[in-house]
């Protein structure tokens, strides 16, 4: 019971990190209430609750919260996925994050993004997204690929292979168009 309470507190802290990151990356947020009415933020809150339930083998509750998020926000974020605190999902509509995906802190995911599988198989089948990655609207990252820290993926790109840190990839299939970005300036 004690570890559930500790993990619940960690979940609240993760939600606060998500809120802070959203405040930094979205200049349209002028009032506090806008954060709490932001669909991407709400989808992440519901993911964090479903992930907590999933972690404690409360699968029915986990998938019930997951289902509610899909209905309310058209965001399908698996309770089994691992998303670090401090991630921003802008708009949330159409976002799909598979069960073996990982997303690290500082990442910005626009609407319509899929972190999906390429094949029906057991084990690792979804991408690992590094820190401070920007994923453009409609991008599809498929399979157990690794996206390096500070990478950028253009809108509607299809990524089927690993992407090195600090690079920009665009197109179908995605190709490198720019290397070694010093620092990404985030503006939604």
We report the CATH number of the domain holding residue 142 as: 2.160.10.10
Confidence class for position 188, pLDDT limits 50, 70, 90: low
For 41, the domain range is 2-178
User: Residue 155 phi/psi, 5° resolution?
Assistant: -55, 140
- Tell whether 30 is covered by a domain: yes
Count up the domains in the chain and report the number: 1
Contact 74, 92 (CB under 8 A): yes
Task: Give the span between the Cα atoms of 92 and 74, in whole angstroms.
Answer: 7
- Tell whether 185 is covered by a domain: no
- Tell whether 52 is covered by a domain: yes
- Tell whether 83 is covered by a domain: yes
- 51 DSSP 8-state letter: H
42-62 pLDDT tens trace? 999 999 999 999 999 999 999
- Tell whether 80 is covered by a domain: yes
18-33 pLDDT tens trace? 999 998 988 888 888 8
133-184 pLDDT tens trace? 999 999 999 999 999 999 999 999 999 999 999 999 999 998 898 765 555 5
Percentage of residues of the chain with pLDDT beyond 90:
78
- Tell whether 186 is covered by a domain: no
């Amino acid at each position: 019971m004690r570890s559930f309470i500790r993990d619940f507190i960690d979940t609240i802290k993760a939600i606060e990190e998500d809120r802070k990151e959203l405040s930094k990356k979205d200049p349209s947020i002028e009032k506090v209430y806008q954060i709490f009415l932001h669909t991407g933020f709400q989808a992440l809150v519901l993911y964090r609750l479903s992930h907590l339930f999933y972690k404690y083998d409360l699968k029915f509750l986990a998938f019930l919260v997951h289902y509610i998020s899909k209905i309310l926000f058209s965001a399908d974020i698996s309770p089994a996925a691992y998303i670090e605190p401090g991630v921003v999902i802008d708009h949330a509509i159409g976002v799909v994050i598979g069960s073996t995906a990982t997303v690290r802190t500082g990442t910005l995911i626009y609407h319509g993004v899929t972190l999906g599988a390429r094949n029906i198989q057991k084990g690792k089948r979804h991408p690992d997204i590094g820190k401070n990655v920007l994923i453009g609207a409609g991008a599809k990252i498929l399979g157990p690929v690794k996206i390096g820290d500070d990478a950028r993926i253009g809108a509607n790109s299809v990524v089927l292979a690993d992407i090195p840190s600090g690079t920009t990839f665009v197109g179908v299939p995605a190709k490198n168009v720019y290397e070694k970005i010093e620092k990404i300036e985030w503006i939604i």
